[in-house]
Amino acid sequence: MKGLVWLRNDLRIDDNPALRQACIDTNEVHCIYIYSSEQMKLHNQANCKIEFIINNLINLNENLKKLNIPLTIVDSKGFSDNPKKILDIVKERSISSVYWNNMFGTDESERDKKVKDLLDKENIKNISFNDQVVFAPGTIRTKEEKPYSVFTPFKRRWIENFNLDFLDIEFKYAPKDNANINSNVDEFNFEFNKTHSVDMSIWKIGETNALLILEEYLDKKVFQYSINRNDPILEGTSRLSPYLASGIISPKRCILEALKINNFELDSGEKGIIKWIDEIVWREFYKNIMFCFPKVSKGQPFQDYTKNIKWRFNQSEFDAWRNGMTGFPIIDSAMRQLKSEGWMHNRLRMVVAMFFTKNMLHDWRLGEAFFMENLLDGDFSSNNGGWQWSSSTGTDAAPYFRIFNPITQSKNFDGQGKFIKKHIFELKDLDTKEIHDPSAALRNHLNYPMQILDLKESRLRAVDAFNAAKN
Domain interval for residue 330? 304-470
- CB–CB of 225/262 below 8 Å? no
Of residues 77, 79, 138, 139, the one with CA closest to residue 107: 79
Do residues 158 and 212 share a domain? yes
Task: Name the 3-class secondary structure at 412.
Answer: helix
Annotation marks residue 311 as catalytic: yes
Pick from 449, 443, 456: nearest CA to 407: 456
Q: Is residue 173 part of a domain?
A: no
pLDDT per residue as tens digits for the range 413-430: 999 999 999 999 999 999
**Phi, psi for residue 4 in degrees, rounded to 5:** -120, 125
Residues 338 and 427 placed together within one structural domain of the fold:
yes
Pair (338, 462) in one structural domain: yes
Indicate if 255 and 362 belong to the same structural domain. Answer: no
Task: Residue count of the chain, please give it.
Answer: 471
Burial of 320 (0-12, 13-18, 19+ CB in 10 A): buried
Residue 440 lies in a domain: yes
Residues 339, 225 share a domain: no
* Three-state secondary structure call for residue 129: strand
CATH number for 420: 1.10.579.10
The pLDDT mean for the chain works out to: 96
Name which of 310, 293, 314, 465 is nearest 394 in CA terms.
293
Does residue 185 form part of some domain? Answer: no
Domain-embedded: residue 199 = no
Q: Is 387 a catalytic residue?
A: yes
Q: Which of 77-81, 290-294, 397-401 has the lowest mean pLDDT?
A: 397-401
What does pTM read for this prediction? 0.96
pLDDT value, residue 192: 81
**Active-site hit among 68, 228, 346, 405:** 346
Would residue 331 count as lying in a domain? yes
- Residue 141's DSSP bridge partners are 147
Say if 189 falls within a structural domain: no
CA dihedral 107, 112, 117, 123 (to 10 degrees): 170
Of 292, 324, 357, the last residue of a domain is 292
Taking residues 397-425, what's their average pLDDT? Answer: 93
Looking at the structure, tell me whether residues 240 and 375 fall in a common domain: no
The string over 244-257, giving b where at least 16 C-beta atoms fall within 10 Å of a residue's C-beta and e elsewhere, is bbbbbbbbbbbbbb
Same domain, 237 and 331: no
The stretch 182-187 carries a mean pLDDT of 96
Phi/psi at 147 (nearest 5 deg)? Answer: -70, 145
311, 314, 373, 405: which one is catalytic?
Answer: 311
Same-domain status, 407 and 443: yes
Domain stops at, among 105, 131, 157: 131
Query: Choosing from 108, 257, 279, 434, which is the catalytic residue?
Result: 279
| Claim to verify: residue 243 and residue 317 sit in the same structural domain | no
CB-based contacts of 439: which residues, under 8 Å, 6+ apart? none
Please count the structural domains in the chain: 3
Residue 228 and residue 103 share a domain: no
pLDDT digits (tens, 9 = 90+) for 452-467: 999 999 999 999 999 9
Confirm whether 6 is a catalytic residue: no
Rg (CA), the chain: 23
Residue 111 has pLDDT above 90, yes or no: yes
Confidence of residue 194 (pLDDT cuts 50, 70, 90): confident
Q: Which of 63, 364, 374, 389 is labelled catalytic?
A: 364
Which of 100, 276, 343, 387 is labelled catalytic?
A: 387
Pick from 118, 12, 121, 23: nearest CA to 63:
12
The span from the CA of 241 to the CA of 238, in Å, is: 8
Q: What is the DSSP string of 126-190?
A: EEEE--S-SS-TT-SB-TTS-B--SHHHHHHHHHHH--GGGG-------PPPP------TTT---
